[in-house]
Amino acid sequence: MRRPGRPSFAVLTCLLLVAALVPAAGAAPDDKPRAGGELVFIVAAEPPSFDAHREETFAMLHPGAPQYNTLMRVDPFDRTGTKFVGDLAESWTISADRRTYTFKVRQGVKFHDGSLMTSRDVKASYDHIISPPPGVVSSRKATYQSVESLDAPAPDTVVFRLKYPEASFMAALASPWNWIYKADILARDPRWYEKNVMGTGPFKFVEYVRGSHWIAKKNPDYWDKGKPYLDGFRAIFIPSSSAQVAAVRGERAHIQFRGFTPADRDNLVSAVGKKITVQESPWNCSIGATPNEQKKPYDDKRVRRALTLALDRWEGSKALSRIALIKEVAGIQVPGTPWATPPAELEKLAGYGRDITAARAEARRLLKEAGAENLSFTLVNRAVPQPYEPFGIWLIDQWRQIGVTVKHSVLETSSWFQALRNGEFEVAVTAPCNSIVEPDLDIHWFLTTSPVNYGKHKDTVMDDLYARQSRTLDPDERRRLLRQFEKRLYDEEIHFIMGFQWHRIIPHSSKVRGWTIMPSHFLNQQLDTVWLAE
Amino acid sequence: MASYLAKRLLLIVPTLLGVASLVFVIMRVIPGDVALLILGGDQGSHIDPQQLAAVRQQLGLDQPLIVQFGVWMWGLLHFDLGTSLWTGRPVVEELLIRLPLSLELAVLATMISVLISIPLGMLAAVRQDTWVDYVVRVVSIGGLAVPSFWVGILVILFLVLFFGWGPPLLFTPPWEDPWANLQQMIWPVVTVGYRYAAVTTRMTRSTLLEVLREDYIRTAWAKGLAQKAIVIRHALKNAMLPVITLIGTEFAFLIGGLVVTETVFTLNGVGRFVVDAVAHRDYPVVQALVFLIAFGFVLVNLLVDLTYAWFDPRIRYQER
């Protein structure tokens, strides 16, 4: 015999059980920096090692950076990520010929083991980057080719002497990867930092459990008195994007610093409203198509020009930005930053005009003239949903409208790289990605000698323009050279069919304050300015 | 029995050797380069060939394949599962971080499954073609038809949408904080246990139905034995052999095979560890884990076979 009412009791029991497992949550907003609390953030991948001089992935930088300082840094409140301030450098002077940079290093800064940091540590760290000992990998060694010598003449002084003036040298010194290590440790074991964490940063390393978490606590002896505001942080490694969204939505995590999709943003905002704050920025990554100039008919610039003329970037931006991490129509620099192309000039470039009908008519004419009227090819793309796949689909649709038939070949990452490196493609989706917005660091991809010149173009004019803009000391002259470089790259020779700038979207808990989005997920990760309004 | 056991134990050796060799070859055949991944080559950045060579040398990947294979086998003979190429830590150390979680999940899901499925399967068999049977069949077919990761996503969505709450993201061992552990583990356990229970319920029902039609059961009925005695003492015990095999195999699977569920619930378990290692081309980790999972399967199968003798006295494992 079934007793009446039992199902309701069972349902009630279940709901009570669920309710019992759900702790109450609440936030008390505050406008002034507040000390205390633990920031919980999500990292979508695992760090391969702990050595920033060696690594290139945000998976290491996001949990690792708060434990270190760099000599210079990007201003943590500058949304363009192009203003530099001292980190361990207290002050600096640059010689008139811009070849000698002298830095006064902060005194009284302590490593987490209690020892004092001096200019010797700065020198040792940069030696580790610029001239790594045998067996040590330095990923950014090539960035410092201009350095002739590096000296530490006094405990508070570091001097860089360059072979030639370089406009981007200060940016290179503000690289978020150039953590200052302890000289004695590097002397004893140059690879010690691959498996250990010990810096001068605002947080002290506590533990890392692969696949699970990274914990750090406040450094009470931090040189910047009053900072950090947080008691500590906990980085949680969650590869699944749906689990990341659920974690933020369920208030288990405050933020994920790399970026969410527009759909995730909209879901979070509609679900939790004011508990979520959204910061957005153009991202210093672009996505486009690289034609293989070693193969016919892509050696013909008329064909390449036709392919870029076919793209309706302005309408594409509106459509794709609703579903993918791409948005801005841009030139060779992130819009809104000092070296970006003015909109009026941008629209003069092939395929950037507002009259798409005329552009496509011109594209058809060029294809006919080049004898490629019935062009068909395979577009090699990377099997990464954001933003590669939607972008690839968009490209195919755009080219179809000038009579070009394209097959989409989506390859797993390693196969995609293999195809690029071996030149086994006709046209491939590629996505140059950078950190600090600086022309030298951003456009080296397109040089003839670049190892990532997958299209195998040879353009000494462009190479010369790059070298000249890099060494010029006059900003107006540099701007003019950059525009020439851009016109040659996107309009005249079309070595890269630029699509869009990536768009970074960070929806985070409104409790998180003091953190400013920048055009790179590599920047502003020291967390010394971050606090929790609770 | 002793000679049967000795024979089965000896057979484990070539089986595991085969697995070890196969996984070594497969990992070298699949495209991808751990050194490239370590240097961030998958991010689209430029990698200096000299740096690449240096990393390969550090990892011992510049050695001929036969040497690498020899090192792997020699390590196995000395119970050394190697060192992760990705973290530089011993594989055993890495595994021990994840094993408690996976074991807890497997044990709890198995317990829930057994506690639910055997009574339900019995009930459905005894009350065949009544509403009880129909309900049990619908629920169990539902469990089979719906992937557990999807149920997991629904569970999380339900919690987040209706309660604005998600399970904790970090594993807390039950001996440290049972409440925190329960908050995290109950959802995946229920999710996995439901599918597991569905499979076992179906198996229990069908095997019990088969046994209930045997002549000796008819005899028992004719002798006037009580239903409880017939079903539990005579029928169930004989119906248990395939159910036990299933429980054993599922248990072994649960330790290393819950990749998607672990991902959905952000559990740092062995399944995710395997997939993560494959994605990173962390050869020693993949080799060691596949080897250990294979060992687990072999061991569980052996234990299952040995329990047959207890359930069915006709099975003696004696040599003819």
Chain B residue with Cα closest to A242: B264
A381 and A460 belong to one structural domain: yes
Q: Which of B33, B50, B85, B87 to mutate to test the interface with A (most CBs of A within 10 A)?
A: B87
Which of B45, B48, B266 is facing A243, going by the closest CB pair? B266
Is the pLDDT at A8 greater than 50? The verdict is no
Is the pLDDT at A28 greater than 50? The verdict is no
SS3 A456: coil
Mean pLDDT of A317-323: 94
Cα–Cα distance list, A417 to A410, A422, A455 (Å)? 12, 8, 13
Interface contact B170-A234, CB threshold 8 A:
yes
Which of A134, A212, A417 is facing B170, going by the closest CB pair? A212
A332 and A475 belong to one structural domain: yes
Mean pLDDT of A392-396: 97
Q: Which of A39, A413, A441 to mutate to test the interface with B (most CBs of B within 10 A)?
A: A413
Interface contact A271-B98, CB threshold 8 A:
no
Residue A343 belongs to some domain of the structure: yes
Measured between beta carbons, the chain B residues lying within 8 angstroms of A136 are: 54
Interface contact B48-A431, CB threshold 8 A:
no
**What pLDDT was estimated at residue A523?**
95
Interface contact A21-B273, CB threshold 8 A:
no
Q: Which of A37, A24, A22, A180 is nearest to A112 (CA)?
A: A180
Residue that the structure tokens 């999709």 belong to:
A261
Express as a percent the part of chain A with pLDDT over 70: 94
A165 and A296 belong to one structural domain: no
Measured between beta carbons, the chain B residues lying within 8 angstroms of A19 are: 163
Measured between beta carbons, the chain B residues lying within 8 angstroms of A144 are: none
Measured between beta carbons, the chain A residues lying within 8 angstroms of B92 are: none
**What pLDDT was estimated at residue B77?**
87
A320 or B257, greater pLDDT: A320
As a dihedral over the C-alpha atoms of residue B206, residue B212, residue B216, residue B218, rounded to 10 degrees, the angle is -150
Residues 6+ apart with CB under 8 A from B80: none
Chain A residue with Cα closest to B89: A195
Token pair in block for residue A340: 């970006």
| Interatomic CA distance for residues B148 and B152, integer angstroms | 6
Q: Which of A457, A454, A378, A446 is nearest to A417 (CA)?
A: A454
Interface contact A56-B45, CB threshold 8 A:
yes
**To 10 degrees, what angle do helices B131-145 and B91-126 make?**
150
Interface contact B31-A138, CB threshold 8 A:
no
Question: What is the nearest CA distance from A416 to chain B, expressed in angstroms?
Answer: 9
Which of B39, B165, B183 is facing A139, going by the closest CB pair? B39
Residue A81 belongs to some domain of the structure: yes
| Interatomic CA distance for residues B122 and B127, integer angstroms | 8
Interface contact B186-A18, CB threshold 8 A:
no
Domain that holds residue A340: 9-14+282-503
Mean pLDDT of A447-453: 84
Residues 6+ apart with CB under 8 A from B202: B121, B140, B141, B144
Interface contact B170-A55, CB threshold 8 A:
no
Interface contact A431-B44, CB threshold 8 A:
yes
- Tell me the DSSP string of A1-18: -PPTTHHHHHHHHHHHHH
Measured between beta carbons, the chain A residues lying within 8 angstroms of B43 are: 56-57, 433
Q: Which of B42, B102, B159, B281 to mutate to test the interface with A (most CBs of A within 10 A)?
A: B42
Give strand ranges (E) for A292-412: 376-382, 405-411
**What pLDDT was estimated at residue B63?**
87
pLDDT category, A25, cuts 50, 70, 90? Answer: very low
**What pLDDT was estimated at residue A12?**
44
A479 and A527 belong to one structural domain: no
A148 and A101 belong to one structural domain: yes
Each residue's pLDDT expressed in tens, for chain B with a length of 320 residues: 778 788 888 888 899 889 989 989 988 888 777 887 777 655 555 567 777 787 788 788 888 889 988 988 898 888 888 888 887 788 998 888 888 899 999 999 999 999 999 999 999 999 999 999 999 999 999 998 988 888 888 888 888 778 878 888 888 889 989 998 999 899 999 999 999 999 999 999 999 999 999 999 999 999 999 988 999 888 988 888 889 888 888 888 887 778 888 888 888 888 888 888 888 888 889 999 888 888 888 888 888 888 877 777 776 655 44
List, for residues A253-298, the tens digit of each pLDDT value. 999 999 999 999 998 998 888 899 999 999 999 999 999 999 999 9
Interface contact A250-B166, CB threshold 8 A:
yes
CATH number at residue A497: 3.10.105.10
Residue A211 belongs to some domain of the structure: no
Residue A256 belongs to some domain of the structure: no
Residue A195 belongs to some domain of the structure: yes
**What pLDDT was estimated at residue B293?**
87
Mean pLDDT of A25-45: 77
Question: What is the nearest CA distance from B9 to chain A, expressed in angstroms?
Answer: 34
Measured between beta carbons, the chain A residues lying within 8 angstroms of B266 are: 236, 238, 240, 243, 247
The dihedral through the CA atoms of A467, A470, A474, A478 has a sign that is: positive
Residue A433 belongs to some domain of the structure: yes
pLDDT category, A156, cuts 50, 70, 90? Answer: very high
Token pair in block for residue A369: 């003239």
Chain A residue with Cα closest to B163: A22
List, for residues A490-530, the tens digit of each pLDDT value. 999 999 999 999 999 999 999 999 999 999 999 999 999 99
Is the pLDDT at A243 greater than 90? The verdict is no
A169 and A308 belong to one structural domain: no
**What pLDDT was estimated at residue B86?**
80
Which of B46, B54, B263 is facing A137, going by the closest CB pair? B54
Q: Which of B29, B45, B52, B265 to mutate to test the interface with A (most CBs of A within 10 A)?
A: B45
Is the N-terminal amide bond of A220 cis, ω within 30° of 0?
no
A52 and A159 belong to one structural domain: yes
Question: What is the nearest CA distance from B120 to chain A, expressed in angstroms?
Answer: 17
Pick the CATH number of B97-311 from 3.90.1150.10, 1.10.3720.10, 1.20.1730.10, 2.102.10.10: 1.10.3720.10
CATH number at residue A149: 3.90.76.10
B157 or A482, greater pLDDT: A482
Token pair in block for residue B256: 């290393």
Domain ranges across chain B: 31-80, 97-311
Interface contact B170-A137, CB threshold 8 A:
no
Q: Which of B43, B57, B267 to mutate to test the interface with A (most CBs of A within 10 A)?
A: B43
A519 and A494 belong to one structural domain: no
Strand-pair partners of A376? A405
pTM of the predicted structure, to 2 decimals = 0.81
Measured between beta carbons, the chain B residues lying within 8 angstroms of A23 are: 165
Residue A205 belongs to some domain of the structure: no
A&B contacts, CB < 8 Å: 147
Measured between beta carbons, the chain A residues lying within 8 angstroms of B152 are: none
As a dihedral over the C-alpha atoms of residue A44, residue A47, residue A53, residue A57, rounded to 10 degrees, the angle is -30
Interface contact A252-B163, CB threshold 8 A:
no
ipTM over 0.90: no
List, for residues B50-85, the tens digit of each pLDDT value. 777 877 887 888 888 899 889 888 988 888 888 888
A164 and A306 belong to one structural domain: no
**What pLDDT was estimated at residue A274?**
87
Residue A247 belongs to some domain of the structure: no
Q: Report the number of distinct structural domains present in chain A.
A: 2
**What pLDDT was estimated at residue A23?**
41
A466 and A516 belong to one structural domain: no
**What pLDDT was estimated at residue A221?**
95
Is the pLDDT at A308 greater than 90? The verdict is yes
Interface contact B32-A414, CB threshold 8 A:
yes
Express as a percent the part of chain A with pLDDT over 90: 75
A166 and A298 belong to one structural domain: no
**What pLDDT was estimated at residue A20?**
44
Strand-pair partners of A147? A162
A139 and A159 belong to one structural domain: yes
Residue that the structure tokens 């040659």 belong to:
A488
